[in-house]
Amino acid sequence: MPRRHPTLADVFAELGNGKVVEVPITHPTERVYGFCDQGTGVIAVNKYPADLADTLVHELLHRRHPRWGEARVTRETRYVMRRLTDEDIKHLCQTYRRRVCRLRRTVKLEA
């Protein structure tokens, strides 16, 4: 069976499937835009990511496809992002802003 790429519909479906939090994230050696906790399914998005839409798509794909490695998620994120219109990106960010839970505490990741 040929590999099926994720669609915008897959991304929106996953946005509605679980908790997404916006929280300051620090790491001693890397810039972290977000991460998906596979144990709980919670997606954490850094309060000030460089590209919110790209970070959301990336982390939502991690949650939707937990067996995919980082390289595959990155490839599929690029695939989805190249196909989004400005209106799609605006709608994705608006939906995120309505659904996100904002946390004040900082998440400190280990190296």
β-strand partners of 36: 43
Residue whose token pair is 């906790």: 37
CA distance 41 to 44: 10
Write out pLDDT tens, residues 90-104: 899 889 889 888 888
Count of alpha carbons within 13 Å of 1, Cβ hemisphere only?
Answer: 3
Q: In this predicted model, what pLDDT tens digit does every residue of 13-57 receive, in sequence order?
A: 888 888 999 888 888 888 788 899 999 999 998 876 668 899 999
With H, G, I as helix, E, B as strand and everything else as coil, classify residue 108: strand
Phi, then psi, of 16 in degrees rounded to 5? -85, -10
pLDDT in tens, 63-75: 999 999 999 999 9
In the beta sheet, which residues pair with residue 35? 44
- What's the mean pLDDT in 79-91? 87
Q: Which helix (H) or strand (E) holds 21?
A: strand 20-23
Can you give the pTM of this predicted structure?
A: 0.68
